[in-house]
Structure 1
Amino acid sequence: MRRLSSSPSCAIRTVVAAEGNARLGIADELIKLADLKAKGIITQVEFDAQKAKLLAR
């Protein structure tokens, strides 16, 4: 098992990487929602509600 450095800069990089992954996940979810909306599976109202929830994270 690899030991993580206890330096502040290492901790900051870890947090920034996690935030970047979360943003990527949100972007992926938005793309999926847009696809569902384009296919007529969900309505514009449903899309807007789910989008607002994702962006509020």
Structure 2
Amino acid sequence: MEAAAVDRLNAAYRARFGFPFIIAARLIRDPAVEEATAREEVAQITRMRLDGLVAG
């Protein structure tokens, strides 16, 4: 993703929620735990996108 798009999305996130979007790099976690967390987060994103399509 290009820097301008990231800046635009971060500004929209801050405007909506009042705080900056943060990414946490969790390099010290157990790989199995990190994979499970990543799968849960992908599932949440998928649900949000499907909800948006259904609400249309």
TM-score normalized by structure 1?
Answer: 0.48
Which has the larger Rg?
Answer: 1
Bigger fraction of residues in helix: 1
User: TM-score, normalization: structure 2?
Assistant: 0.49
The structure whose RCO (Cα within 8 Å, separation 6+) is larger is 1
